[in-house]
Amino acid sequence: MKKILLALITASSLMTLPLLASAADYVLDDEGGHAFINFKIKHLGYSWLTGRFNTFTGAFNYDAAKVSDTKIIVDIDPASIDSNHAERDRHLKGPEFLNVRKFGKAKFVSTKISDKGNNQLEVVGDLTLLGITKSIVINAEKIGEGKDPWGGYRVGFSGTSRIGLKEFGMEESLGPASTHVDLELHIEGIRQ
């Protein structure tokens, strides 16, 4: 009887193992240059000014079978803004925009993830910028996942969002065509 009971316990443990092991923790591959936080804003309505944040870290957990359980945290160094123009970057870091001396960190924390089907996701979360926290929506797409050539495992996503300058306390007037910034995210996570 003990052998039968032990066999049943062992079998049921083995059957639940894949359920427990399916969720995984990932870190953003910012060191390997496989994660990007880019932005663009219209310049006077005539063209696009583009750039990126060079320094950020982040982590998330992910289970393809339970996408809604995903949690994401990303810390961004606003002083790492790079618009490919040193004088403009100094202006963007100043008090009229990112005010990096007073607000040295920006943060995104997910609050809800919805699987829209066909690898499409809606990521809702709190973005803290200039000491102001607002809920934003990121329309995301799972690009793929699998083993990498170095023995690890990766999963990648891309996403877009739009934020208003005034929503985060940036009152600088850049003209009626330049009130919002478009964010473009490309994230590759390495399973831990």
Q: What is the per-residue pLDDT across 145-182, written as a single tens digit (0 to 9) for each?
A: 999 999 999 999 999 999 999 999 997 677 888 999 99
In terms of pTM, does the model score above 0.95? no
Q: How many domains does the chain have?
A: 1
Tally the C-alpha atoms within 13 A of residue 84's C-alpha that lie toward its C-beta.
Answer: 8
End-to-end Cα distance, the chain: 41
Residue 120 pLDDT level (bands cut at 50, 70, 90): very high
Answer for the pair 125, 110: CB distance below 8 angstroms, yes or no. Answer: yes
Q: Is the pLDDT score of 21 beyond 50?
A: no
Residue 75, both tokens: 């810390």
Q: 125: domain CATH number?
A: 2.40.128.110
Tell me the chain's radius of gyration from C-alpha atoms. 21
**Mean of per-residue pLDDT scores for the chain:** 89
Q: Range of 103's domain?
A: 2-191
What is the per-residue pLDDT for 182? 98
